[in-house]
Amino acid sequence: MSDRSVSKQKQEKRWYTVLAPEQFDRAKIGQTVAEEPDQALGRTIETTLADLRNDASGNNTKLTFRITEMASDTAYTEFIRHEMTRDYMRSLVRRGSSKVAAYVTGLTADDYRVQVQPVALTTKSADESQEKAIRRTMIDRVQAATAERTFADLADSVVEGRLSSAIYNEAKTIYPLRRVEIQKMTLEARPAEVAAEEEASVDL
């Protein structure tokens, strides 16, 4: 390939500004380059809550977005994952205390399938029955929150810390807790994908 052809290819590539969804105020989360707009569809962009809101307190929260629409020089995204950093989660663990985790999959009020992973950290070592009761409380609270909220509202509740606070306030009556975090929330399927899966299941 000649230098001229390579140069032409580079000139044909365009930069697109990547924006967060409306629920995150269409904040700029980065840039991506592509020769054709469709090439950028499906790409994922990871940022921190700190960068998104210019607030250092969000350094421990990673957010992932997926490009779903292209327009002019702009790429629009959907929110697909919230995750606390590993270093932060490790820093919460103390010797002589218990870490109680749960994995909850459910449908939101607008039929998005999500998986939510709450984690509770106790002040001292809890026994097996106490851990079981804390885990049950976390599962029940997450299932209720998921069923009651749209996907956007659930994401806001997780990102803003409201869901973890609700779990903390309920579970601390079982055993003293130091902290509750939503370690991860992941979008597993959109409504159309959920409907297609259900239809395929009925056909089988």
| DSSP code per residue over the chain | --HHHHHHHHHH-EEEEEE--GGGTT-EEEEEEESSGGGGTT-EEEEEHHHHHT-GGGTTEEEEEEEEEEETTEEEEEEEEEEE-HHHHHHH--TT--EEE--EEEE-TT--EEEEEEEEEESS---HHHHHHHHHHHHHHHHHHHHHS-HHHHHHHHHTTHHHHHHHHHHTTTS-EEEEEEEEEEEEE-HHHHHHHHHHHHH-
The token pair at 120 is 């509770």
Rounded CA separation 199/180 (Å): 37
Q: What is the mean pLDDT of residues 91-116?
A: 96
pLDDT at 154 over 90: yes
Task: Give the pLDDT score at 64.
Answer: 98
pLDDT at 43 over 70: yes
The amino acid that residue 197 corresponds to is: E
Q: Which domains does the chain have, with CATH numbers?
A: 10-84 (no CATH), 86-194 (3.30.479.30)
pLDDT at 146 over 60: yes
Total residues found in the chain within this entry: 204
Task: Give the pLDDT score at 198.
Answer: 87
Percent pLDDT > 90 in the chain is 86
Q: What is the mean pLDDT of residues 6-16?
A: 70
pTM, 2 dp: 0.89
pLDDT at 10 over 60: no
Nearest to 155 by CA among 110, 193, 119: 110
Residue that wins the pLDDT comparison between 90 and 12: 90
pLDDT at 200 over 90: no
Rounded CA separation 183/117 (Å): 6
Q: In which band, very low, low, confident or very high, does the pLDDT at 204 lie, cut at 50, 70 and 90?
A: low
Nearest to 163 by CA among 183, 189, 177: 183
Residue that wins the pLDDT comparison between 137 and 9: 137
